[in-house]
């Protein structure tokens, strides 16, 4: 007994053969006189079947038919019917085999994810996915989670101040913007509506996959609701250092807002940002040209730069070392051009680069130092 699915497979593939068989059967009935009202000539009855176009050899038989045509045609019809029946049964068998293979494949597919899941649960990659999902604390697509877990160099780990989805009700309407109306809201509440994490300390974390209000809109709202306070400045620093925000900010706006604050900005900045977060320091200097001030605050003594350089070498913190070098290059701590300090740092990097050729950070540092050591200052 065939299932409904099997009936559909057979019907779709064998209707043509099945029709031919019954056409031949009807024609044999005509020869026995049961349908003689339709055709007077038995040979003509066969040649004018409904499947005449499917059996082109019938037209050839019509040309060579002799006095024993009736006998020859009847014999051929019998042979054709046997062939058609044989083909139809072969097709039926093939269809059933295909259906069985399909069912087996479906069964295998249903079981395979369970096998893969059990294998993943016992792998370091699966453990890393769990850690990342916990650090983000939101539902994210599995494809993104897999991509983040595959990033063993942690290039997707960064400073994210805006971690939650925003409250879009804070976005002014076009009508109020046209009339010049501005939203009046306490600054802490404003940042919170942007999706900010208002905890005292912010740490590196994986991409939170949060939505954003347009950066230009947020900048306008901050500017119109800002206050000259230490707390407001801390929120401002955290905002501009966010990875999703910093690349979309206009330097003119950042400098204008920076100059509005009257507190000891660098001292407060280092309260917010750890002193060894060189990526953050470098990111700030891309927005505000204060490299020399930051380097002088970090390394007040002449030998402090060399000491920190050696500490980073010993700890093998290659990414921190890269941004440290980029930060200090061109300042009084490590000026452009040949110097004993530049030669020492360059030689150390060349030695490390030969031993750790797979570290892309060392190759970038080497290129920077090679170029910067040849710059002559006038």
Per the CB < 8 A criterion, the answer to whether 170 and 185 are in contact is yes
Question: Does this model's pTM top 0.85?
Answer: no
Residue ending a domain, among 286, 303, 323, is 286
Structure tokens at 45: 């009855």
Q: How far apart are the first and last CA of the chain?
A: 96
Q: Which residues contact 302 (CB under 8 A, 6 or more apart)?
A: none
Q: Do 280 and 162 share a structural domain?
A: yes
Q: Do 271 and 164 share a structural domain?
A: yes
pLDDT at 203: 82
Q: Do 127 and 66 share a structural domain?
A: no
Q: Count how many domains the chain has.
A: 4
Query: Distance between CA atoms of 310 and 315, rounded to whole angstroms?
Result: 9
User: What's the domain range around 34?
Assistant: 4-120
Residue ending a domain, among 76, 101, 120, is 120
Q: Give buried/exposed letters for 12-48 (b at 16+ CB in 10 A, else e).
A: eebeebbebbebbeebbebbeeeeeeebeebbebbbe
Per the CB < 8 A criterion, the answer to whether 77 and 46 are in contact is yes
Instruction: Go through the chain and tell me how many residues it has.
Output: 378
Per the CB < 8 A criterion, the answer to whether 10 and 95 are in contact is yes
pLDDT at 116: 52
Q: Do 248 and 300 share a structural domain?
A: no
Structure tokens at 39: 């055709």
Q: Do 147 and 261 share a structural domain?
A: no
Q: Do 168 and 127 share a structural domain?
A: no
User: Helix axis angle, 124-136 relative to 69-121, nearest 10°?
Assistant: 70
Structure tokens at 183: 């939203």
Q: CA torsion 239→243→248→251, rounded to 10°? A: 60
Q: Which residues contact 98 (CB under 8 A, 6 or more apart)?
A: 9
DSSP 247-283: TT--HHHHHHHHHH--S-HHHHHHHHS-TT-HHHHHH
Q: Do 319 and 252 share a structural domain?
A: no
Q: Do 163 and 94 share a structural domain?
A: no
Residue ending a domain, among 257, 286, 315, is 286
Q: Do 240 and 182 share a structural domain?
A: yes
Q: Do 273 and 171 share a structural domain?
A: yes
pLDDT at 144: 87
pLDDT at 10: 41
Query: Distance between CA atoms of 42 and 48, rounded to whole angstroms?
Result: 10
Q: Do 354 and 325 share a structural domain?
A: yes
Average pLDDT per block of 10 residues along the chain, 378 residues long: 43 49 51 45 41 47 50 57 68 68 64 48 79 83 87 84 91 69 85 91 85 94 94 96 95 96 96 94 96 96 94 92 96 92 93 74 91 80
Q: Do 112 and 144 share a structural domain?
A: no
């Amino acid at each position: 007994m065939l299932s409904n699915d099997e009936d559909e497979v057979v019907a779709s593939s064998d209707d043509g053969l099945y029709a031919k068989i019954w056409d031949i059967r009807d024609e044999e009935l005509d020869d026995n006189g049961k349908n003689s009202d339709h055709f007077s000539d038995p040979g003509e009855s066969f040649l004018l079947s409904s499947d005449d176009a499917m059996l082109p050899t019938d037209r050839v038989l019509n040309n060579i038919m002799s006095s024993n045509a009736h006998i020859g045609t009847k014999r051929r019809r019998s042979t054709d019917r046997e062939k058609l029946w044989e083909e139809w049964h072969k097709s039926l068998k093939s269809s059933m085999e295909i259906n069985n293979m399909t069912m087996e494949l479906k069964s295998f597919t249903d079981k395979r994810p369970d096998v893969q899941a059990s294998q993943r649960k016992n792998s370091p990659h699966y453990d890393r996915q769990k850690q990342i999902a916990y650090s983000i604390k939101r539902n994210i697509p599995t494809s993104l989670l897999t991509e983040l877990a595959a990033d063993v160099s942690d290039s997707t780990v960064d400073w994210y101040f805006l971690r939650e989805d925003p409250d879009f009700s804070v976005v002014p309407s076009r009508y109020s913007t046209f009339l010049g109306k501005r939203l009046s809201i306490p600054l802490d509440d404003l940042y919170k509506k942007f999706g900010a994490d208002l905890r005292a300390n912010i740490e590196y974390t994986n991409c939170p996959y949060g939505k954003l209000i347009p950066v230009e809109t947020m900048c306008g709202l901050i500017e119109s609701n800002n206050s000259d306070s230490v707390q407001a400045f801390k929120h401002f620093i955290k905002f501009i250092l966010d990875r999703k925000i910093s690349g979309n900010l206009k330097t003119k706006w950042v400098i204008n807002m920076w100059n509005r604050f009257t507190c000891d900005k660098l001292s407060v900045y280092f309260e917010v940002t750890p002193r060894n977060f060189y990526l953050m320091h470098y990111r700030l200097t891309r927005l505000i040209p204060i490299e020399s001030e930051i380097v002088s605050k970090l390394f007040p003594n002449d030998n402090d730069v060399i000491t920190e350089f050696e500490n980073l070498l010993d700890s093998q913190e290659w990414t921190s070392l890269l941004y440290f070098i980029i930060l200090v290059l061109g300042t009084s701590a490590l000026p452009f051009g040949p110097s004993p300090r530049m030669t020492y740092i360059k030689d150390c990097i060349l030695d490390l680069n030969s031993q750790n050729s797979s570290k892309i950070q060392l190759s970038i540092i080497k290129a920077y130092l090679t170029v910067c050591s040849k710059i002559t200052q006038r």
